[in-house]
Every structure is written in structure tokens, then in C-alpha cells.
Amino acid sequence: MKTVNCIIESMEDDDWEAVRDIYEQGIATGNATVETQAPAWDRWNRVHRADCRLIAKDGDKVVGWAALSHVSDRDAYAGVAEVSVYVSDGYRRTGVGKLLLQSLVSTSESAGVWTLQASILVENDASIALHSACGFRRVGTRERIGCLHGRWRDTLLMERRSDVAGV
């Protein structure tokens, strides 16, 4: 397994092209999302929290990203967010995903997020293991929650409650 020494930075607008490319690599696996293409920047930017967007860089190269999206626009759920973590093809299983998710947890708590949730396709063993290693617990399986290429897919809902925010 390759070991990578990455730095984590806040995502800037001009990182979008690299972020989109990594997202499309995840889509191509068939086990990262039921989306079939990355959205346009305007849509992605609108649904992801501006204060919780991170990239991992190996030198000058963006090799992964993590971001939070709101689960509801109701005030009562202001501290609940959904996690997205994607790592470039050549950097999976190198610790980049764990570094990103741990950094996102810390960033989210500083932003007042008390619950993180992740909806992971049940076949995505690596993502399930990653989230478990970062303190997420299994909530339950959601059956037939999304359809990808004519096949219904189940997701495992995982969550992490902060010991710092919302206490």
C-alpha cells in the first residue's frame, strides 16, 4: 500500500475542476453514489456548505475532497449535515480518506454541526470501514433507496454525534 503525505486545505472555487474529476472517478466505480454524472458547479456549490469543504493535496495535486451538505433547511436541523468523501483513483487505501474525514469532523464541529450522517451503498466496504474508524455508528439499512442503471440499491445510514458541538 502506498503511503501519502498530504495536506488538507479549504476548498476554493478554482479547485472545482479537480473536485469534479475525482467525483466522476467515484461515480465510475458504481459503488460511491447513484448519481450518473457530476453536477454543474452552480448546483454543487448551492447544496454544499461553504464553511465545510476540504481538499487533500499531494504537492500541488488535488487527490481527494470532503464536503458537507444540509439535510434540511429547517432551523431545528441546522447542526445536521450529510458527509461526502471522495478520493482519486491512485490514492485510495492510502490514508487520504481518513485524513479528510477526520479533518471534516473537526471542521464541522467548529462550525457548530452536532450530527454528521453518511448514506453509503452497502457494497462500499471501504467507505463503511472508513466511517466506522472515524466514530460513525450504523443506524440502519435503507432498502431500494436509489436506482442506478435499472438496479435498485440499498444504503447503510451511518451517523456520528459530536461530543463538542450542540452539547
Q: Assess whether pLDDT exceeds 70 at residue 64.
A: yes
What CA–CA distances, in Å, run from 156 to 44, 51, 71, 107, 149? 23, 26, 16, 24, 19
Using CA atoms, how far residue 123 sits from 60, 63, 118, in Å, is 32, 23, 14
Q: What is the pLDDT of residues 152-164, one digit of tens each?
A: 999 999 999 999 9
Mean pLDDT of the chain: 94
Report phi then psi at 18, rounded to 5: -65, -40
Give 107-160 pLDDT, tens digit per residue.
Answer: 999 999 999 999 999 999 999 999 999 999 999 999 999 999 999 999 999 999
Instruction: Say if residues 82 and 69 touch (Cβ distance below 8 Å).
Output: yes
Contact in structure between 92 and 6 (CB atoms under 8 Å): no
- Tell me the C-alpha distance between 81 and 112, whole Å: 10
By C-alpha distance, which of 143, 144, 139, 133 is closest to 159?
139
pTM of the model: 0.94
Strand-pair category, 151-161 with 80-87: unpaired
- Cα(73)–Cα(53) distance, integer angstroms: 19
Segment 17-33 mean pLDDT: 96
**Domains in the chain: ranges and CATH:** 7-161 (3.40.630.30)
